[in-house]
Amino acid sequence: MNISSIVVQCTSEYYDEVKEWCEKSDICDFHFGDKSKGKIIVTIEGEGVSEEIEKLVKIQEHPHVIAADMMMSYQEELDEEIKRLNEADSVPPVLNERDIDPTQVVYNGDLKHKL
């Protein structure tokens, strides 16, 4: 189960309408809001990231929502992956191979920010 907090921004003019929609929808749970700033804090839950993203998009598509952004997220799968990484060797075995052809190494990173 994944749980994420969302900050929803609307104008103070539509705050009550958006707040009521959040409270009545099966998409999210309302927790706090500030009408003068048009900010609402909700949480969403999902079995996975894709379900959470679907719910976030539904909130973003509300006609009076200016923006809705995920702020914090808890993911059970992430805990399992962190545990697996912590238990793994610090140096991948391929880096210790002396006879590897560097032209055959597949890189899946992002070179855009390396220059």
Tell me the CATH number at 55.
Answer: 3.30.70.920
Task: Judge whether 44 and 3 are in contact, CB under 8 Å.
Answer: yes
Q: Considering its fold, how many domains does the chain have in total?
A: 1
Q: Residue 56 domain-assigned?
A: yes
Task: Judge whether 9 and 67 are in contact, CB under 8 Å.
Answer: yes
pLDDT string in tens for the chain (115-residue length): 889 999 999 999 999 999 999 999 999 999 999 999 999 999 999 988 889 999 999 999 999 999 999 998 887 777 777 788 788 777 777 777 788 787 777 777 665 654 4
Q: Which domain holds residue 62?
A: 2-77
Spatial distance between the Cα atoms of 75 and 69, rounded to a whole number of angstroms: 17
Q: Residue 114 domain-assigned?
A: no
Spatial distance between the Cα atoms of 19 and 40, rounded to a whole number of angstroms: 7
Q: Residue 61 domain-assigned?
A: yes
CB contact set of 5 (below 8 Å; sequence gap of 6+):
31, 41, 42, 43, 70, 71, 72, 73
Q: Residue 88 domain-assigned?
A: no
pTM over 0.85: no
